[in-house]
Structure 1
Amino acid sequence: MIVVPRYQVFVKFVDVPSLDESEIAKMAEFQIAKEIPHPKDELIISFRNLGSHKEGFSSLMLTVVIKDMIEEKIREASYVDSIRLHSELLYLFLLKENVVSHDKVSLIIHVGEGDSEIMIIDRSRLISSRGFKDRHAFLGETERSILAYKRKKVNPEIEDIIIVYPSGVNIDDKIEKIKAQFTIPVRFHEYSQDLSLLDLGPQIDLMPKEISHKRKGLEKRRESIVTYSLIGAVIILFSTLVYSKIHQKNKIIGEISTKVEEVDARIEGLDEILKKTEAVKGHLEKGSFIIKVLDDFHTAVPQDISISGLDYDGKNNIFYKGNSNAMATVLNYVKRLENSKYFSKVEVKYAAKKKVKGEEIIEFNLRCQLKP
């Protein structure tokens, strides 16, 4: 995160006659156009909605910065995820830490490592902000800020004065000078937190829109790639499990049969099953439907039926090839498939008795029509 100091940004506090977010954004740009006679495409405009403190009106903290300056900061940094205004971060930090009073008007003087800033917060609402490139400048500018505030007779008296500074800044030599400027007690608040690392919920975004839009597009593409990769991984994993179950069934057939040719044929059949399974997956949307069909196929197979082949015609039919010890078992299996929510019709295309190692088995072919 890049944090832009207050003195590099134009800030104005205004009340606009709307509570609608889309209208407020347009009014904010209109206010800036009146204040700054500069081409809009050379500026970065943002604002914070400070809430409604007058019926029908929204209080805004408008900010404007020259785009070239921000782009230069981006070029100098290795990576920038966001660009924020120091004033907003400091304001939110003081509220979160309950440094400022919620029932008084507070004068905040922030002394930084290289710059300084004066803010006035009226009962938790930021109403004034000035920044200075020299961190010692606040000593001569505080009185001006107070006089400007007092010009509006409706403004309540300042009742709380707080000097805020980070741990790395030594202000020991200025404490007495600061106290001498005021007739009311002065509080000092030292903080060690890095404001850029805190979760404060800032609204002012000084990142150029072109860069923001580009990054959002890249983020969406990244999310899509991750999503489809996960879907592909699930399909591959499930297909592997189904293949493993089919392989176990055919291993039992291999133990019954002693003919090497039949074993080789079954192995080739397994390769064909994998190819056809991939064809079915490509036919159905995102692979989810075929996963459910294969799951029903696996769970519906009784222990006394062995499936040795699966074929798909690329349209509406799936063909099962297998054997059983009785025709009644085959017919019961047909009924179970017909009750599946995926098949509209299941018919026996072929059934014949065959002896293997002295045992009689029924070989069969089934055609299962997929529901539209």
Structure 2
Amino acid sequence: MTRQAHNKPEWAGRPASRALLLEVSSDWLKLIEVTASRGNVSVCRSHLEPLEPGADIAQALRKAIASGHFSRIPVRSCIPRQLVNVRLLELPSTEPSEIADMVELQIGRQTPYSLNEILSGYKLLGLVRQGAYTQVMLVIVQRSIVRERYYTIEGAGLAVERMTVSSEGVLNWFLYHTRKEAPDRLRMLLDVDASFTHMIVIQHGNVVFSRSLMWGARQATEGLDVFVQRVKEAFQSCVEALRGEKIAEVTLSGASHSLDGIDAVIQEALSIPCKKADCLSDVNLTNGRVTLRDAQYATASMTALVGMALAPNRLDFNFVPDVVRLREQINLQSRLWMRFSTWLVVALGCASLYGLLTTGYRTHQRNRLQDEATALEALALRVERQHEVIRAAHERQDQRFLPEHLLPVIYGSLPVHVYLEILDIDAAKAQVTMNGTAPSRKDIRELIRLLEESPYFSGVEEGSGTVMNRDERFVFQVIARFEGGEPQ
């Protein structure tokens, strides 16, 4: 079977700066807290506790967190491989939308449970059969299992960040451990835990075969014959699924490091080179605080948790119960409405503040204008009285003797070459005083005669100060009283 190389690099793990990782199997409660610096992962806190049937896991987890001083951060947890159904499918399409429809049809065929009882997820592994087919990993798990684990973790006072399957953690560690080897080689991993063994075969960074073997380190006291037989049966199924492709190497991990001679037995049974690998050698164990290598934990595999710590960004599956998903949606909507309400209150507060400031400013302006009006009131009254005096004077004054009526008469009476220099219309004395120059006294008398003949003046007289100036012109003054006018 020809497989195309995966287009992403063999190792692209990015450890989180701090993470809390949890795996609860039928035998062990495994909890570690890790930190990362410059790509190096360190286990700073750990707790491993054997579980008896019917144990209160939430209570045990709560005590472990308190006694171990773990950080109360959202936890990444994984479901053991033996509790999920993993299927590798080859689908005749390369279009994501078509693949999604095909997977939807396959879900009901791959499990005896109804769709209401299960949760499922899948991821694309790569192209096979000359690129005409796509290999897909389909994972199916019962809703009750996921719901129970969520409630257990939340009952211990922790939030769940992700609920994946242990296969992803095991794969991540194996890819990290073999990152310097040729990616096109078929390699088998047997990760031995307390009561089961996780078998995966990888090529080009993806799982091409997966199987859960019901044999673990606790059964090793009865001998390795059962284990070897089950490995051989799974190996035969793998050879058939891979259509004759040969596996280059077998790696034993997890609790296998405490089982003497198991690598030699597997190598002899499969006729394939076999070696042991310790996942804890790929992380730093903080001195004096971590006891993961103690003999009492020899039957527990930490491979899945170490792989989750090394590459949390490569965890693709996340199973969430419908109740929790609905609760998160409600919480999200509540937060959105809370933010909207907060912004609305802020907006109303700003509008109210603006209204208060505007009202205060207008009140201040009104008071200032009132003060200015009060200050100008006395001046306005005085000006008004002056206007009344002027109006009264105009009312008492004969309209005939207004300047606009007198000036045409005066200038119409001026003889030729007689010039006025000063013209004073005194309404209070009812007279007009004219100062000017004339070429002769005859012209002055002519001016007096013409003014006397007008209907506006009477009693026109020449002043006594008539003299001749250096220009040989007579400087004169003529006083004309208004006709019928009396001094006011």
Match of 1:276 in 2: none
> Please, which runs of 5 or more residues in structure 1 have no aligned partner?
260-353, 361-372
1:207 is aligned to 2:296: no
Show the counterpart of 1:11: 86
User: How far apart, CA to CA, are the structure 2 residues paired with 1:147 and 1:84?
Assistant: 28
Which residue of the other structure, out of 103, 120, 124, is the alignment partner of 2:205? 124
Q: 1:96 to 1:67 in 2, by over 3 A?
A: same
CA positional deviation for 1:122 = 1.9
RMSD (Å) for aligned C-alpha atoms? 3.6
2:263 alignment counterpart: 178
Aligned twin of 2:104:
29
| Alpha carbons of structure 1 residues 80 and 153: separation in structure 2 relative to 1, 3 Å | closer
How far apart are the structure 2 equivalents of 1:107 and 1:359? 106
What is residue 90 of structure 1 aligned with on the other side? 170
How far apart, in 2, do the equivalents of 1:359 and 1:104 lie?
105
Assess, with a 3 A threshold, how the Cα gap between structure 1 residues 34 and 114 changes in structure 2: closer, same or farther.
Answer: closer
Higher relative contact order (CA 8 A, sep 6+): 2
Return the alpha-carbon distance in structure 1 between the equivalents of residues 251 and 124 of structure 2. Answer: 24
- Residue 376 (structure 2) pairs with residue 358 (structure 1): yes
Give the match for residue 190 of structure 1: 279
Counterpart of 1:178, as a letter, is: D
Closer/same/farther in 2, CA of residues 72 and 247 from structure 1, 3 Å limit: same
Scaled by the length of structure 2, the TM-score of the pair is 0.45
Cα distance change on mapping 1:231 and 1:121 into 2, 3 Å: same
Deviation at 1:202, TM superposition (A): 3.1
User: Equivalent residues in 2 for 1:129-168 (5 A)?
Assistant: 129-132=210-213, 134-136=215-217, 139-140=227-228, 141-151=230-240, 154-165=243-254
CA–CA separation in structure 2 for the residues paired with 1:41 and 1:73? 18
TM-score normalised over the length of structure 1 = 0.58
Task: Note closer, same or farther for the CA distance 1:153–1:44 as it changes in structure 2 (3 Å cut).
Answer: closer
Hey, what does 1:59 align to over in structure 2?
A: 135
Does the CA-based 8 Å contact 1:101-1:124 persist in structure 2?
A: no
Q: 2:316 and 2:278 mapped to 1: Cα distance?
A: 25
User: Structure 2 counterpart of 1:121, which letter?
Assistant: I
SS of 1:117's equivalent in the other structure is strand
1:106 is aligned to 2:187? yes
Distance 1:236 1:175, change over 3 A: farther
Q: Provide the rounded CA distance (Å) in 2 between the counterparts of 1:195 and 1:225.
A: 39
Q: Tell me the secondary structure at the aligned position of residue 77 of structure 1.
A: helix
SS at match of 2:279: strand
Aligned length in residues: 261
Partner of 2:315, secondary structure, is coil
For residues 234 and 10 of structure 1, do their structure 2 counterparts lie closer, same or farther at Cα, with a shift above 3 Å needed?
same
Distance 1:96 1:359 in 2: 94
What is the aligned partner in structure 1 of residue 446 from structure 2?
A: none
Aligned residue identity for 1:3: C
Contact 2:79 2:165 in 1 (8 A): yes
| Residues 135/153 of structure 1: CA separation in 2 closer, same or farther (3 Å cut) | closer
Code of the aligned partner of 1:27:
M
Aligned residue among 136, 153, 164 for 1:77 = 153
- Please report how far the alpha carbon of residue 249 of structure 1 lies from its aligned counterpart in structure 2 after TM superposition: 4.0
Q: Secondary structure at the match of 1:355?
A: helix
